[in-house]
């Protein structure tokens, strides 16, 4: 019965499916809906307000039953969370191919999408929700940690000690921000409209304290700032109310960002000027009015961030669609502050670096510890990676299956992946490992308001790249591959691709892991080299990524 159903991934070395590719997909689908992992598992919502793992419970049950019974050379097709066909391919082919929310561009509007969703014809898959590789808040933590490290290096002499970061949103993505800030020595003031989300982050160890009021929160963070003491404090309120009020008072944070679910004006962002309960009631009773009020609130939120920037704060967008929504609501200068990729992450993308994550299908924490050691031993001279692995082991509370994330570049991911495969083959691990990544990666996304904002050659909106990435992952033998629309920025604003490959400990598995994890980040190097980034050009030449044309010979005249 809806409301009483609890989904958890099976543990242990015995599988219920006929292949580990299907078993891995089965366990990760179920792990996405584990109560420790998902925001609203009863509604199949994993994170981001509306990102689902399956379209409805009937579809979920059919996916599970199919994965358990399909042959080792079958491939399941999933259309926006609904299983629509099983076709014979090869054992080297993916076990699952997923497409979520892919609308013809002229019809790719939030309003049209909501009509289709209400009719039961489509669902929003976010990024890792509908591609079955979400691992809880940790999944975005390392990238957030790395971003704030770069903020500290760029603006504050290498540390956030004595600095206050003001942000909003403690959902599945935003919940990583407080721990990422304190991990860099800083003080985080986090505004969250939903008291349950704030409490959840507190219980999971991502947040230190919840204040009684905005004034109480300010008192706590100011004491920590004076003492140069790392601390994260949540205030349960609406950012569209608190941020303008802080501007009015003349209070200025050192850094201001945001990770509310602004990409979704109906299912994500919450309008101000009313209680949270009243907002939820309005969402059900009058969706059109709700959206209108939410967009007005986003405009107020964004204007306050612009005011903080004028007052001297370091301000950047964390890729949630706030600037785009605010611009649509009349804030003409909404894009005067940059997105985090453009400001801090693009050099990593240009050399094929991005989020590499894995989940131990055994459910055994000892397997996670063994994989952590394997990564540390594979890259002994990478000081930043070594620090991260120690920090994660000591501070990250697991959700669902034991899992980890770290950022690895081209030429590194396959080294870690084959090391895992070897551990499975030698019996060090008690079951295979599912290796995947966020869709937010070097070569797997076209998102002009986030990952591909401000590309050097003006190619921000060209979506050939994520489609090529998905096709290549399929040809390389990934265990499951997905192509989505919308992600964390909203319908009409991005196309992105994901993959997972299961390290099974067999010779065939080792070949697939090496091939997939070599080719996937190569598309990031190629994409950025083609756009004229020197780091990517140097990387391509150094590691031997073949490009039939020298990118410099066909660049626009203004770039040459």
Q: Which domains does the chain show, CATH number per domain?
A: 138-337 (3.40.50.10730)
For 436, phi then psi, to 5°, come to -145, -155
N- to C-terminal Cα separation, the chain: 63
Average pLDDT over residues 111-134: 96
Cα–Cα distance for residue pair 158/149, rounded to 1 Å: 7
- 557 has pLDDT over 70: no
pLDDT at 3: 53
Tokens linked to 369: 């510890």
pLDDT tens-digit profile of 300-332? 999 999 999 999 999 999 978 899 999 999 999
515 pLDDT band (50/70/90 cuts)? very high
512 pLDDT band (50/70/90 cuts)? very high
Residues, the chain: 560
Using alpha carbons, list the distances in angstroms from residue 54 to 160, 263, 283, 395, 514. 40, 20, 22, 31, 30
Partners of 52 in beta bridges: 45
Average pLDDT over residues 118-140: 94
For 532, phi then psi, to 5°, come to 95, 15
Mean per-residue pLDDT over the chain, rounded = 94
Query: Catalytic residue positions?
Result: 406
1 pLDDT band (50/70/90 cuts)? very low
The SS3 assignment for 227 reads helix
Tokens linked to 520: 């996937």
For 394, other C-beta atoms within 10 Å of its C-beta total 7
Using alpha carbons, list the distances in angstroms from residue 507 to 359, 395, 472, 479. 21, 36, 21, 15
Residues 6+ apart with CB under 8 A from 171: 39, 47, 48, 49, 194, 197, 259, 260, 261
552 pLDDT band (50/70/90 cuts)? low
Residue 467 exposure: Cα atoms within 13 Å on the Cβ side: 7
Closest CA to 271 of 318, 319, 235, 238: 238
Average pLDDT over residues 370-396: 94
Average pLDDT over residues 43-47: 95
Kindly state the DSSP code that residue 432 receives in the 8-state scheme: -
Cα 492-173-473 angle, rounded to 5 deg: 60
Label residues 107-135 b or e (16+ Cβ within 10 Å = b).
ebebebbbeebeeeebbbbbbbbbbbbbb
Closest CA to 497 of 128, 81, 124: 128
For 433, phi then psi, to 5°, come to -125, 130
Contact between 72 and 64 under an 8 Å Cβ cutoff? The reply is no
Kindly state the DSSP code that residue 398 receives in the 8-state scheme: P
559 pLDDT band (50/70/90 cuts)? very low
Sheet holding 314-315, edge to edge: 209-210, 231-236, 187-192, 164-168, 255-256, 314-315
Tokens linked to 355: 């989020």
558 pLDDT band (50/70/90 cuts)? very low
For 107, phi then psi, to 5°, come to -100, 5
Tokens linked to 1: 């019965």
- 102 has pLDDT over 80: yes
In the chain, how many H helices and how many E strands? 19, 17
Average pLDDT over residues 59-79: 98
Average pLDDT over residues 484-506: 96
Radius of gyration of the chain (CA): 22
pLDDT at 429: 98
pLDDT above 70 as % of the chain = 98
Segment among 76-90, 379-393, 470-484, 509-523 with least mean pLDDT: 379-393
pLDDT at 551: 67
Average pLDDT over residues 8-16: 97
């Amino acid at each position: 019965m809806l409301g009483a159903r609890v989904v958890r991934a099976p543990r242990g070395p015995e599988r219920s499916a006929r292949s580990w590719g299907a078993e891995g997909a089965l366990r990760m689908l179920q792990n996405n809906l584990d109560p420790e992992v998902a925001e609203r598992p009863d509604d199949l919502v994993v994170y981001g307000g509306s990102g689902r793992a399956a379209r409805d419970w009937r579809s979920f049950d059919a996916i599970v039953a199919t994965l358990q019974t399909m042959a080792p050379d079958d491939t399941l097709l999933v259309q926006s969370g609904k299983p629509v066909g099983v076709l014979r391919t090869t054992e080297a082919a993916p076990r699952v191919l997923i497409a979520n929310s892919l609308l013809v561009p002229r019809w790719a509007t939030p309003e049209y999408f909501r009509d289709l969703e209400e009719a039961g014809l489509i669902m929003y898959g976010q990024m890792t929700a509908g591609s079955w590789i979400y691992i809880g808040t940790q999944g975005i933590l390392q990238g957030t940690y790395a971003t704030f490290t770069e903020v500290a290096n760029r603006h504050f002499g290498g540390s956030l000690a004595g600095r206050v970061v003001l942000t909003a949103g403690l959902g599945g993505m935003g919940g990583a921000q407080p721990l990422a800030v304190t991990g860099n020595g800083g003080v985080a003031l986090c505004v969250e409209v939903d008291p349950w989300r704030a409490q959840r982050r507190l219980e999971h160890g991502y947040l230190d304290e919840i204040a009684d009021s905005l004034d109480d929160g300010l008192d706590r963070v100011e004491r920590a700032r004076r003492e140069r003491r790392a601390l994260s404090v949540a205030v349960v309120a609406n950012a569209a109310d608190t941020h303008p009020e802080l501007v009015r008072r003349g209070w200025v944070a050192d850094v201001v960002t945001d990770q509310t679910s602004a990409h979704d004006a109906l299912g994500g962002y919450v309008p101000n000027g009313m209680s949270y309960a009243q907002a939820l009631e309005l969402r059900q009773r009058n969706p059109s009015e709700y959206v209108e009020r939410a967009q007005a609130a986003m405009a107020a939120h964004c204007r306050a961030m612009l005011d903080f920037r004028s007052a001297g704060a370091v301000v950047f967008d964390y890729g949630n669609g706030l600037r785009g929504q605010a611009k649509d609501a009349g804030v003409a200068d909404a894009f005067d502050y940059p997105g985090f990729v453009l400001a801090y992450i693009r050099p990593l993308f240009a050399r094929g670096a991005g989020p590499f994550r894995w989940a131990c299908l055994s459910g055994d924490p000892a397997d996670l510890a063994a994989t952590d050691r394997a990564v540390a031993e594979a890259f002994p001279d990478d000081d930043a990676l070594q620090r991260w692995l120690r920090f994660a082991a000591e501070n990250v509370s697991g959700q669902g299956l034991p899992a980890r994330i770290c950022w690895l570049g081209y030429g590194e991911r396959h080294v870690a992946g084959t090391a895992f495969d070897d551990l499975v083959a030698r019996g060090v691990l008690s079951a295979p490992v599912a290796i995947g990544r966020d869709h937010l990666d070097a070569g797997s996304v076209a998102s002009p308001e986030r990952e591909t904002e401000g590309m050097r050659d003006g190619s921000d909106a060209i979506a050939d790249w994520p489609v090529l990435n998905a096709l290549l992952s399929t040809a390389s033998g990934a265990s499951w591959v997905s192509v989505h629309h919308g992600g964390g920025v909203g319908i009409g604003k991005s196309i992105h691709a994901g993959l997972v490959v299961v390290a099974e400990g067999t010779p065939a598995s080792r070949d697939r892991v090496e091939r997939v994890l070599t080719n996937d980040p190569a598309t990031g190097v190629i994409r950025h080299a083609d756009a004229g980034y020197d780091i990517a050009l140097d990387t391509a030449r150094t590691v031997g990524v073949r490009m039939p044309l020298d990118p410099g010979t066909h660049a626009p005249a203004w770039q040459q």
